[in-house]
A and B are shown apart, each in its own frame.
Chain A
Amino acid sequence: MESLFSQLAMLGSSLALIASFLLLWRRGIPAYIDAFVLQSLALGATTALVGHFTGNPELYLVAGLLTAIKGVGIPLLLRRMARRLGSGRRVPPYVNTATSLLVGGLLVLLAYVVMRPVVQLSQLPTRAGMPLAMGLIFISLFVVVSRRHALTQVIGFLMLENGIALLAVLGTYGIPLIVEIGVFLDVLMGFLVMQIFVYQIHETFQSLDVEQLNRLRR
């Protein structure tokens, strides 16, 4: 039983991590949104899984919220944005695909190194997935800094939030519900404000290439 739980949790975290690699490997906003949906569903399923094996009904609620907001709601808004703003001129990232994938691999290695002393402290059957969650966090950070398209940066930020949620559910079987709900609210509000800003950028600069945003750089 314990090992089945452990294996399934590992499967869920691996799927979530693979989704972030899709962001490094594929091109185009629609593909990125698909990857984000896949990741959110994997995260929701992992959360429900932990809820099932630990008998904690609160986690079902969290899993439901996760799937509804990050698996359905936000992707819907993202797709609408992508449609309305058009894919426009292709914006190449600062780093090419091959190098990106290599960096991604190295970041996962780094996550294992960083998390090794931490994982040893835990007795939970889900602990093996924690370095993967940290890897996901690192890769999302890398996406935010290495991409020039504002929408891609938003998706990177959303994946970062997913990584943290995954780390929390694997390492602690979920943070207290009041905090969880506060975090959801923040992510949602933050995303909505970012959405307004993306439209503003598009209107003011006629492009979503943040390379254009360098008037203030000095």
Chain B
Amino acid sequence: MSEPTLFLLLLGAPLAAALLAAVGSSASRAVAASTGLLALGALAAALGLAARVVEGGVPTWGPGELFRVDALSAVLAVCVAFVSALAVCLGPASETARHARTFRIFASLFAFTMLVAVTTNNVAVMWVAIEATTITSAVLVPLQVSRASVEASWKYILIGSVGIALAFVGTVLAYFDFVALAGARESALHWTVLMAAAPALHPAAMQLAFVFLLVGYGTKAGLAPMHTWLPDAHAEAPAALSAMMSGVLLAVALYAIVRWKAVVDLAVDGPLPDRLLIGLGLLSLALAALSLLGQRHYKRLLAYSSIEHTGLMCMGLALGPLGVFAAMLHLINHTAAKSMMFLLSGRIRERYGTADIRHVSGLLRTMPITGGLFVAGTLALVGLPPFGLFLSKLTLLRAGFAAGHAWLMAAVLALLAVAFVAFVGHLNRMLYGAPPAGVATGETGRGALVPLAACALVLVWLGLVLPAPLETLLDRIVEITTR
């Protein structure tokens, strides 16, 4: 397929799916099947574009090369398309037809906005798309109206919108600096143009811009102390939406930070950007690890674990080329692990009718496969071999020691140990014991388990080897984003 066709398929398929779901009958099997197929089409297009990038190309498309896929975009596009396909195909568990329709419309739009965000070359269009992700996903949080979901959706849209507005202040300040230097140009907000001009930009303005950008996109990425919306929204949303929000939305926000960090690194010589990233990353890690200890709600447990992992990746970005390599590898692993876990949590909640850990017991007896995968996912998230996250965490720690941050890495290790103990302790309580009365035994909807098991296999695979095309992509990301 030619490159324009790939772009058209990547961005057009989710839009077409949303349209189809909107006009089609809500109970129709055909509509459900076609939206799923379209999501898979977008995934195929993302893989096609990634293959082009591995071969050394940089596909571009649209007026003024508005869309451009380099290695960084390719990795994110594949992650987004993968999780969206997973979520759209599996859908919200046990919902009415009307809910399923609303979900298909907005989940497809949500996927579309994320795909635009990671494939556009224009940093302001990226902002517009990321802001739109808040709107398209917030609509789905109170899919089942309850006090808790209404509260969570309000916190999410208010904090998310305000946070992302601050990222726009940063974008405007950077554009202001560019205009003061080179005059107004239509293409001035293109990342490639900014990168070329970056060495001449003014450090004072770019530092201020970066603070706003980091706080803004950091809010979306769930970095402490701007994370307060995250546990509520991720816990109250339908499981399939949580998978998209936790698996890839956080990664998309982090992607925006990586893009801007590359520009700011060229303009600013001082240590401020790195220090900010390390500070916020460590704070997120510490807060998440301690919050994991006292959790009673397993979806909140997963949400806090997302904050923990985002904090780790954020730190990695400040630890030199090896750190960036580790952070991006970690991002891919986390996407596979967390989307699987949230989808599994949806199955558990459906069966037990509660998200309270204390009321879930005997999971291995009632749902052996779901329970088994849940164990695998938990062990992967806490960073045990043979899962991919072990490898990426190890690389990240190595990068930290190599960069001379021995004390920092010691603190990170201690916090990871706290998270480990908390997570595994909660898991034990859920797996064993007698199931509560009235909870049926045996798996239902076995078809859904196949893609979820595939996620687990991907995690093991990435833990054993680093596939050559992936290594090429990661190396190229390091090349284009670090000095």
Tell me how far the C-beta of A92 lies from the nearest C-beta in chain B, rounded to whole angstroms.
Answer: 19
Q: A118-B208, A186-B135 are in contact. Are A204 and B145 (CB under 8 A)?
A: yes
- Chain B residues whose CB sits within 8 angstroms of the CB of A196 once the complex forms: 139
| Contact assessment for A179 and B177 in the assembled complex, using a CB-CB cutoff below 8 Å | no
B150 interfacial contact with A, CB 8 Å: yes
Q: A171-B172, A215-B151, A216-B152 are in contact. Are A114 and B208 (CB under 8 A)?
A: yes
| Contact assessment for A157 and B161 in the assembled complex, using a CB-CB cutoff below 8 Å | yes
22 sampled A-B residue pairs with Cβ under 8 A: A114-B208, A117-B204, A121-B202, A123-B180, A141-B162, A144-B158, A160-B165, A167-B172, A172-B172, A173-B179, A176-B188, A179-B124, A186-B131, A189-B135, A193-B139, A194-B158, A197-B138, A197-B142, A197-B157, A201-B150, A216-B148, A216-B231
Partner of A182, one of B128, B145, B153, B172: B128
A190 interfacial contact with B, CB 8 Å: yes
- Chain B residues whose CB sits within 8 angstroms of the CB of A164 once the complex forms: 165, 168-169, 172
- Chain B residues whose CB sits within 8 angstroms of the CB of A176 once the complex forms: 124, 186, 188-189
Q: A157-B162, A201-B154 are in contact. Are A190 and B134 (CB under 8 A)?
A: yes
Tell me how far the C-beta of A192 lies from the nearest C-beta in chain B, rounded to whole angstroms.
Answer: 9
Partner of A204, one of B134, B150, B186: B150
- A157 CA to B163 CA, complexed, in Å: 10
Q: Which of B119-173 contact A (CB under 8 A)?
A: 122, 124-125, 128, 131-132, 134-135, 138-139, 142, 145-148, 150-155, 157-158, 161-162, 165-166, 168-169, 172-173
| Contact assessment for B148 and A205 in the assembled complex, using a CB-CB cutoff below 8 Å | no
- Chain A residues whose CB sits within 8 angstroms of the CB of B173 once the complex forms: 118, 167, 171
Q: A118-B204, A189-B135, A190-B161 are in contact. Are A213 and B154 (CB under 8 A)?
A: yes
- Chain B residues whose CB sits within 8 angstroms of the CB of A157 once the complex forms: 158, 161-162, 165
Partner of B150, one of A183, A194, A205: A205
Tell me how far the C-beta of A123 lies from the nearest C-beta in chain B, rounded to whole angstroms.
Answer: 7
Q: Name the CB-closest residue of A to B176.
A: A171
Q: A118-B204, A157-B161, A189-B132 are in contact. Are A175 and B172 (CB under 8 A)?
A: yes
A-B residue pairs, 8 tightest by C-beta:
A182-B128, A117-B204, A179-B124, A171-B176, A213-B151, A186-B131, A216-B232, A172-B179
- A215 CA to B173 CA, complexed, in Å: 38
- Chain A residues whose CB sits within 8 angstroms of the CB of B161 once the complex forms: 157, 190, 194
- A126 CA to B405 CA, complexed, in Å: 45
- A214 CA to B176 CA, complexed, in Å: 40
- Chain B residues whose CB sits within 8 angstroms of the CB of A96 once the complex forms: none
- A161 CA to B162 CA, complexed, in Å: 9
- Chain A residues whose CB sits within 8 angstroms of the CB of B155 once the complex forms: 213, 216
Which residues of A come within 8 Å of B, CB atoms? Answer: 114, 117-118, 121-123, 137, 141, 144, 150, 153, 157, 160-161, 164, 167-168, 171-173, 175-176, 178-179, 182-183, 185-186, 189-190, 193-194, 196-197, 200-201, 204-205, 210, 213-216
- A193 CA to B147 CA, complexed, in Å: 17
Tell me how far the C-beta of A176 lies from the nearest C-beta in chain B, rounded to whole angstroms.
Answer: 6
Interface of A, helix, strand, loop or mixed by DSSP: helix
B440 interfacial contact with A, CB 8 Å: no
Known interface pairs A118-B176, A144-B158, A186-B135; 10 further A-B residue pairs with C-beta atoms within 8 A, sorted by A's residue number: A118-B204, A122-B176, A172-B184, A178-B125, A179-B125, A179-B189, A182-B125, A194-B158, A205-B150, A216-B231
B276 interfacial contact with A, CB 8 Å: no
Partner of A186, one of B132, B145, B189, B204: B132
Tell me how far the C-beta of B474 lies from the nearest C-beta in chain A, rounded to whole angstroms.
Answer: 31
- A215 CA to B231 CA, complexed, in Å: 13
| Contact assessment for A200 and B169 in the assembled complex, using a CB-CB cutoff below 8 Å | no
- A164 CA to B161 CA, complexed, in Å: 13
| Contact assessment for A190 and B172 in the assembled complex, using a CB-CB cutoff below 8 Å | no
- A157 CA to B166 CA, complexed, in Å: 11
B175 interfacial contact with A, CB 8 Å: yes
- A175 CA to B128 CA, complexed, in Å: 13
Tell me how far the C-beta of B201 lies from the nearest C-beta in chain A, rounded to whole angstroms.
Answer: 10
| Contact assessment for B175 and A172 in the assembled complex, using a CB-CB cutoff below 8 Å | yes
Q: Name the CB-closest residue of B to A178.
A: B125
- A208 CA to B44 CA, complexed, in Å: 46
Tell me how far the C-beta of B142 lies from the nearest C-beta in chain A, rounded to whole angstroms.
Answer: 6
Q: Name the CB-closest residue of A to B131.
A: A186
- Chain A residues whose CB sits within 8 angstroms of the CB of B453 once the complex forms: none
- A84 CA to B445 CA, complexed, in Å: 45
| Contact assessment for A121 and B150 in the assembled complex, using a CB-CB cutoff below 8 Å | no
- A123 CA to B177 CA, complexed, in Å: 11
- A72 CA to B135 CA, complexed, in Å: 22
Tell me how far the C-beta of A168 lies from the nearest C-beta in chain B, rounded to whole angstroms.
Answer: 5
- Chain B residues whose CB sits within 8 angstroms of the CB of A121 once the complex forms: 176-177, 180, 202, 204-205
